Amino acid sequence: MPLTIDQLDTPCVLVDIDRAEANLQRAQDYADAHDIRLRPHIKTHKLPRFATRQVALGAIGITCQKLGEAEVMADAGLDDIFLPYNIIGPEKLHRLLRLNGKPLRVLVECDTGMGRCGVQSPEEAVTLAALIAGSRGLVFGGIMTYPPAGSPGPARERLGAIIAALADAGLPPATVSTGGTPDLWSAHETRAATEYRPGTYIYLDRYQVAKGVGTLEDCALTVLTTVVSRPTEDRAIIDAGSKALTSDLLGMTGYGLVLGYPDAVVTGLSEEHGTIDLSASEKKPEIGERLRILPNHACPVSNLFDRVHLVSGDHVVATEVVAARGRVD
């Protein structure tokens, strides 16, 4: 007999394989229709299974945030990997060389409004690009950016100015890499980009629904948890705390959405306990009842569990080891 969700111990992660597959296909169809090259970010799922599937559907390669993730994916047979993170220190550089060899193709990161990493002006981009181009063992490959969500217009203007300055300096960027799931469906409007790096689109989450990327019915990842206590009429305690649910609020109320109880609010997380306020909820879960919680942010949740259960309906179709879990080095 196939395993069912009711037989799983909690807390655990459920990934609706049908929804995940639909999300992947929808994004690839959009990319194909607009001649966009997808390079998905695997930090959301950290699974070679899904990275391989993304490439099979038409992605040109994958993006890994850290060297550890890239090492896992390379061991799994992925061979077109982009690392957008700053690589600092001799040991990390040695690991990078073991992965890539020479010459190393390098992109200049450009801050187009996110206020994190990246050069701050077209002039700085030209200076760094020239340094890369003149360095033995390196090849200037182009530029990359991670623009702020919801502000694609100003980011495009900054990107355009940087591209023009590089072209004037005789260093036209062959690759212009950008990304971000919140603005996925307007990716075609950034015409200068040669590739797009979405991550969360495979699972979606409460934040992406709030941004209009998908609906609750499109969300593939949930945390299955059990009500372990009802100390008062209006309070439930679950066995999913900060070690199972992300503490990211991202401007929303509560640490996730309790499916089936839309007026319940996950008001607090300690390490092993989650507190749910039921004061506004007409119906209230009982002790022992199992709940599915849609996290605010799916990516951190993937990094909290050794394995995830792929489900279709109520049936568990596979259990996957999160191979790149904890690879933040």
Q: What is the spatial distance between Cα 240 and Cα 235, in angstroms, rounded to a whole number?
A: 15
Instruction: Tell me the average pLDDT across 204-209.
Output: 98
Q: What are phi and psi of 268, to 5 degrees?
A: -155, 150
**pLDDT value at residue 270:** 97
- pLDDT category of residue 1 using cuts at 50, 70 and 90: low
Cite the residue boundaries of each domain of the chain with CATH code 3.20.20.10.
Answer: 18-200
Fold (CATH) for 216-321: Lyase, Ornithine Decarboxylase; Chain A, domain 1 (2.40.37)
> What percentage of the chain carries pLDDT values higher than 90?
97
pLDDT at 202 over 70: yes
Q: What is the spatial distance between Cα 16 and Cα 14, in angstroms, rounded to a whole number?
A: 6
Q: What is the spatial distance between Cα 315 and Cα 14, in angstroms, rounded to a whole number?
A: 11
pLDDT at 16 over 90: yes
pLDDT digits (tens, 9 = 90+) for 221-242: 999 999 999 999 999 999 999 9
- pLDDT category of residue 101 using cuts at 50, 70 and 90: confident
Instruction: Tell me the average pLDDT across 29-40.
Output: 98
Long-range contacts formed by 55-63: CB under 8 A, 24+ apart: 55/80, 57/24, 57/25, 57/28, 58/28, 58/31, 58/32, 59/28, 60/195, 63/39, 63/179, 63/197, 63/199
Cite the residue boundaries of each domain of the chain with CATH code 2.40.37.20.
Answer: 216-321
Q: What is the spatial distance between Cα 151 and Cα 146, in angstroms, rounded to a whole number?
A: 11
CATH 3.20.20.10 fits 18-200, yes or no: yes
State the helix-helix crossing angle for 67-75 and 90-100, rounded to 10 degrees.
30
pLDDT digits (tens, 9 = 90+) for 281-317: 999 999 999 999 999 999 999 999 999 999 999 999 9
**pLDDT value at residue 153:** 85
Across the chain, mean pLDDT equals 96
Q: Of 66-80, 142-156, 231-245, where does mean pLDDT reach its minimum? A: 142-156
